Structure 1
Amino acid sequence: MAFVEPVTLAARGVKLVPLGLEHEAGLRAAAADGELWTLRITSVPEPEQTRKYIEDALAMREAGNRFAFAVTDEATGRVLGSSSYHDILPAVKRVEIGYTWYGKSSQRSHVNTTAKLLLLTHAFETLGCHVVGWRTDNFNFASQAAIERLGAKKDGIIRGHALRRDGTIRDTVMYSMRSGEWPEAKAQLLYLLDKPRT
């Protein structure tokens, strides 16, 4: 049995469903909302690479090291973006959350915070994870700020760690949250989501 079993997670109008080939058109449309593949610091697929992106995610799911979700609008089913558990380590009960991106119209909304709340709640409260991690490009300052807002702690920087889409080599900033830190982080996320938007 896989550590991460297929599951659908939903709250506050946001629904995470296991990513499948049926999401190809929706993912392509979400990526086109802001031409996200042009950003050198993201993993968003170019339009003609969308099917391969999903096939690669499904192969990694089969291998047990990644479980990708389509992030959708619960009311309409429209695909807003994608997020994944990855670098899944059942023996130490650790997952990372990443491969996360949203169409421009969903950015700076409650979508990412809600999706992270769903993924973190499932990781700590259902899967029994001891640690949840994140990694991001050293130049992706928006991502770093978003991860820090969740209550994650910076573990450090792995230098010369991965290739970007433009062929340059990036440093990777690593973050994590331990299970003992989750109750306080959860309370803060719920506070942020319940706060009136100005």
Structure 2
Amino acid sequence: MIKVLPATLEFNGLRLEPLAPHHEDGLRAAAMDGELWNLRVTSVPEPYNAGQYIGAALDTRDRVAFAVIDASSRTLLGTTSYHDIVPAADRVEIGYTWYAKRAQRTHVNTSCKLLLLSHAFDTLGCAVVGLRTDGENLASQAAIERLGARKDGTIRHHTVRRDGTPRDTVMYSILRSEWPAIKRSLHDRLERHARGQACS
């Protein structure tokens, strides 16, 4: 049975550290980079709600939230989480992920996913890692599929968005047996990025 505790993870110039109240200013600045809260298919907080966002993340029993930090500049780039943790099934999900516009389409997302997946499978001993996204967020679906995750299906009318409209949720997963090949693929992608090729 897995036990997920807050931890600090570092890799490829990034540091994932437990999200805390002192990250409020950095989270606000990251959200403002691109006015991300205006995207209806994401969970990015309005700048004035950054503190409330952190409080809600810390108060959610089955969620462990991280601040994504550029290790050299110590700038907060975004946030991500383990959530919907089911210890009896050795399962976590990765989500609540968003980044400042300047960090998008860079090595950041791939590096963070590699960090979180490695910690989940290689350290925590997870049997499966899930990911989910809005049925209308085609960019997020494409990014998850590029990771190598398998699409499990769509839960129709699963929840509601901030604007009150109903949301279909697309569910994905990665099994422990699939992880070694995905791990190699993610490392290969980062090596290509280091050679100057695009990374997502």
The TM tier, using the shorter chain, reads over 0.9
Quick check: 1:91 aligned with 2:88?
Answer: yes
Q: Could you tell me which residue of structure 2 aligns to residue 114 of structure 1? A: 111
Unaligned runs of 5+ in 1: none
Deviation at 1:5, TM superposition (A): 1.4
Off by >4 Å, runs of 4+ in structure 1? none
2:66 is the alignment partner of 1:72: no
Over the matched positions of the two proteins, sequence identity in percent amounts to 61
- The one-letter code sitting in structure 1 at the alignment partner of 2:5 is E
Worse-superposed segment, 5-14 or 112-121: 5-14
Counterpart in the other structure of 2:55:
55
User: Is 1:134 matched up with 2:131?
Assistant: yes
Match of 1:26 in 2: 26
Shift of residue 108, structure 1, vs aligned partner: 0.1
Q: Give the distance between the partners of 1:47 and 1:7, measured in 2 at CA.
A: 26
Specify the alignment match of 1:177 in structure 2.
174
| Structure-1-length-normalised TM-score | 0.96
Deviation at 1:6, TM superposition (A): 1.8
Q: Secondary structure at the match of 2:151?
A: strand
Q: Aligned runs of 1:123-162 on 2, under 5 Å?
A: 123-162=120-159
For structure 2, the residue ranges without an aligned partner over 5 or more in a row are none
TM-score w.r.t. the length of structure 2 is 0.95
Distance 2:134 2:179 in 1: 24
Please list the CA deviations of residues 27-62 of structure 1 after superposition, one character each: whole Å capped at 9, or x if unmatched: 0000000000000000000011110100011111xx
Q: Is the partner of 1:197 in helix, strand or coil? A: coil
Equivalent in the alignment of 1:81 = 78
Structure 1 residue 4 displacement after superposition? 1.1
CA distance in 2, matches of 1:59, 1:166: 23
Equivalent position SS for 2:172: strand
Task: Give, as a single letter, the amino acid of the residue that structure 1 aligns with 2:25.
Answer: A
Give aligned pairs, total: 194
Q: 2 CA distance for matches of 1:15 and 1:146?
A: 21
Residue 97 of structure 2 aligns with which residue? Answer: 100
User: Does residue 1:15 correspond to 2:15, yes or no?
Assistant: yes
